Structure 1
């Protein structure tokens, strides 16, 4: 099995950035003998459970993550002493 693991992968749950549906992603990984595959959709884990179950069923190790962004708060910070 290949040593390379894709860790930046979006599914159709990443609107306007991801195209593949989870069953298709997992099937492709299995077809290419990939031992692992990640799902890192934008800002949410909507597909995490589906991805986990499908990957385990196919014998592919699922890596679950999220692509998140830190945005500075525009609210004043309250400091206590």
Structure 2
């Protein structure tokens, strides 16, 4: 039986301020070394590294999955309740349509 490939779908790069310490080039080296077919970038609230992530992955033959970890508040952005403190949602793009 062939091994089922493993893919990380929740990775923060150094573009996730105060949370990610992984440089994109080092991430891609590790993904290639581990023979993973794909990897997702899900930085906190931004897509600043998306172009570098995409280009570096393509150059190494890795399928890049662009994503973002966004913040969600049940009460809206004007009210900050203690229960809203850790509501994060990871969004992954399948293609240019969604």
Class of the TM-score when normalised by the shorter of the 2 chains: 0.7 to 0.9
Q: Report what 1:45 is aligned to.
A: 47
Higher relative contact order (CA 8 A, sep 6+): 1
Q: Are residues 50 and 33 of structure 1, via their aligned partners in 2, closer, same or farther at CA, if it must alter by over 3 Å?
A: same
More strand by share: 2
- Structure 2: which 5+ residue stretches go unaligned? 80-98
- Conserved 8 A contact 1:2-1:35: no
Of 51, 55, 78, the residue aligned with 1:74 is 78
Which stretches in structure 1 are left out of the alignment for 5+ residues?
76-81
Structure-2-length-normalised TM-score: 0.71
CA offsets 1:2-56 (integer angstroms, 9 cap, x no match): 5221111000000111101100000110011110001000000000000000000
Over the aligned positions, Cα root-mean-square deviation in angstroms equals 1.6
Structure exhibiting the larger radius of gyration computed from Cα positions: 1
- Count of residue pairs the alignment pairs up: 75
Q: Which runs of 4+ in 1 moved over 2 A?
A: none
- Aligned-partner Cα distance in 1 for 2:49–2:4: 25
Please give the secondary structure, in 1, of the residue aligned with 2:59.
helix
